[in-house]
Structure 1
Amino acid sequence: MDDVRKQLRDAAAEHRPDRERMLARIERGMERDAVDPGASSRGRLPRPAPWLRIAGATAAVAGVFALGGYAVASVVQGESPPPGTVGTPPAPAPSSVPSPSASAGGDENAGPSAPAEPAHPSGKATKGTPDGGKDQGADRPPKKSQPPPATQRVAPDAEGVEDGYLWSDGSIDPQSNDFWAQSTLTFKTGKPLTALTVELRVAQTGGVTDTGNWRSLPADDFTVSVREQGGGLVYRWTLKAGRTVPAGEHVFAGQYNHAEGGRDAGEDTYAAEATASGRKAAVRGDFARTS
């Protein structure tokens, strides 16, 4: 196929049509018609004027040349692109941005204009502070999100088992056995409490799963939650708004299963924080007994 295209290309380049010879043949034909004027009366249509015939013949010759050249060029250049294909011209190169002095028509001798502020990595310009310094807000590290209140420890700053009007103790119930145990929290308050939150944390020593909880105070006065956190169980009792705890001794208990055998409660802890007469108190303790 490449050889055929090459031959056609060479033939098209060497071809030189003899225009004078073709026009001479047309003139001879017109002279022959002029010698036999009666030809039009023998069923032929009237012939147009000589000048119109010459012009028509010239146009026909030109059309033949153009059609032939187009055909040869199509073969030489190969197949045309498929229908519907539209070429996309390359995008023009972005024009340079004129300097502020040039766009404003200022004096060329006025000196170079002040450089523009560098763009911020996000695409926005960095604004300066009134004193010309850099805005430090963009460089500040994001604030660390605080854990939700439900996962924060109760009374993290408590220093002991007693604080003012509030006293506490933690122990393992004597009815605990080789498969089940109860952690008992005992609180004494010398004043009525308007706020109270109690937390018990039972370490995961193997097979520890929740089986229930209770309190000596009315159940409707507290919101109770039990969740797994930090490799153990967390029990929490929170006094509802508008409720009060009377002065006296009160008990909270968490119950759970555990792996067979005696369980060491040395890693278990409890904590509580309370409010009475506008004064806060916080206590914290642990368990030393093994069930």
Structure 2
Amino acid sequence: MNDEELSGRLREAAEAHRPDRARMLARIERGMAGGPAAGAVRPPRVVRPWLRVAGATAAVCGVLAAGAFAVTSAGDDARARGGRVASAPSATAKTPDSPAPDAPAAKTPLRPEDGPLWTGGVVDPNSNPYWAQSNVTLRTTEPLSALTVELRVAETGGVNSTGSWRSLPEPDFTVSVNESGGYLVYRWTLRPGRTVPAGTHTFAGQYNHAEGDRDATGDSVTAHAVRASGGKAAVGDRFGRAR
């Protein structure tokens, strides 16, 4: 076959061929949409490192934003109710280890008379520039089933006890002397089952003190009693200046 015959047959074949336009348009559309051709193998997806970082950052930002929204919402809700949003305690906050101090005990009013009971205090006139005796007079118009007499001598310098006595029977009372809060304290307490009869009774505390005139205006006496017939009484008095 010569060249002319070959060219003629190719021309006849080309004229006889009719292309499928619908199939060609479909292939073009798939190519424009990025879809793989039938039978094509999809290459493996490669994740860039900067994409991972960006994704993690976006996730953290999302969590923080959600937390901020939740706190703001809680605060708005609490304010709407007139309440307060609780916050975490500071690391330096301290809880008191010990409770608040007790309130001071009520003091006996220094009134010399209460019902059947009366008392008064005076420095014995036989006291001297080195030694003194404080005399307490207690008068009751009714028998007493309980009694505590307390003489408080202020520590004005060199004050120390040298003894005490009372006009009532010694076995009826317990006696104590101690230093407390800047005072030398004498205390006479009626024993259970004993009774103080109606009448006038004396209690005395003796002590040394610094040389010279001693100011006894800080000294005092108090007495608490229970009447045999029922009811309580409390009296008190202050002393004057001693020699």
**Per the shorter chain, which TM-score range?**
0.5 to 0.7
Residue 212 of structure 1 is aligned with which of 146, 155, 163? Answer: 163
Unaligned runs of 5+ in 2: 1-95
* Corresponding residue SS for 1:194: strand
1:110 aligns with none
Cα distance in 2 for residues equivalent to 1:146 and 1:217: 36
For residues 262 and 248 of structure 1, the distance between their equivalents in structure 2, rounded to whole angstroms, comes to 33
| Alignment match, 1:85 | none
- Give the structure 2 partner of residue 280 of structure 1: 232
The aligned residue for residue 133 of structure 2 is 182
CA gap of 1:221–1:143, structure 2 versus 1, over 3 A, is farther
1:284 alignment partner AA? G
Displacement after TM superposition at 1:288 (Å):
1.4
8 Å CA contact retained: 2:214, 2:241:
no
Q: Which residues in structure 2 correspond to 1:1-291 (within 5 Å)?
A: 142=99, 156-276=107-227, 277-291=229-243
| Superposition TM-score, scaled by structure 1 size | 0.48
- Return the letter of the residue paired with 1:263: R
- Per-residue CA deviations over 1:12-65 (Å, capped at 9, x if unaligned) read xxxxxxxxxxxxxxxxxxxxxxxxxxxxxxxxxxxxxxxxxxxxxxxxxxxxxx
* Whole-angstrom distance in 2 between the partners of 1:181 and 1:213: 11
Whether the aligned pair in 1 keeps the contact of 2:110 and 2:238 (CA below 8 Å) is no
Q: Distance in 2 between matches of 1:196 and 1:163?
A: 14
What is the CA distance between 1:230 and its match in structure 2? 1.1
| TM-score, normalised by the number of residues in structure 2 | 0.57
Counterparts of 2:112 and 2:144 in 1: how far apart (Å)?
17
Q: How much does 1:262 deviate?
A: 1.1
Query: What's 1:131 paired with?
Result: none
Q: Are the counterparts in 1 of residues 168 and 201 from structure 2 also a CA contact under 8 Å?
A: yes
How far is 1:142 from its partner?
A: 4.1
Q: Which residue of 2 aligns with 1:49?
A: none
SS at structure 1 position matched to 2:171:
helix
Residues 1:187 and 1:179: Cα distance change in structure 2 (over 3 Å): same
AA matched with 1:168:
T
Secondary structure of the 1:220 match is helix
In structure 1, the partner of 2:38 is none
Q: Distance in 1 between matches of 2:100 and 2:188?
A: 30
Distance of 1:271 and 1:167 partners within structure 2: 10
Residue 126 of structure 1 is matched in structure 2 by: none
Residue 194 to residue 143, structure 1, CA distance change in 2 (3 Å): farther
What CA distance in whole angstroms lies between the structure 2 residues aligned with 1:267 and 1:185?
15
Amino acid at match of 1:275: V
Work out the CA distance in 1 between the residues paired with 2:233 and 2:212: 38
What root-mean-square deviation, in Å, do the aligned CA atoms of Structure 1 and Structure 2 show? 2.4
User: In the aligned structure 1, how far is the partner of 2:150 from the partner of 2:134?
Assistant: 11
Q: Which has the higher contact order (CA 8 A, sep 6+)?
A: 2
Query: 1:159, CA displacement in angstroms?
Result: 4.5
Using the TM superposition, give the Cα deviation of residue 146 of structure 1 relative to its aligned residue in structure 2, in angstroms.
9.1
**Alpha-carbon distance, 1:144 to partner:** 5.3
The residue type equivalent to 1:156 in the other structure is K
Instruction: Pick closer, same or farther for the CA change 1:191–1:289 going to 2, 3 Å.
Output: same
Q: Displacement, 1:157?
A: 3.1
When residues 218 and 181 of structure 1 are mapped into structure 2, their CA distance, relative to the original with a 3 A threshold, is same
Superimposed CA distance per residue, residues 208-229 of structure 1 (whole angstroms, 9 cap, x where no aligned partner): 0100000000111001000011
Give 1 or 2: higher strand fraction.
2
Paired with 1:250 and 1:287, the residues of 2 have a C-alpha distance of 18
Which letter does structure 1 place at the counterpart of 2:239? F
Counterpart-to-counterpart distance in 1, 2:110 and 2:182: 24
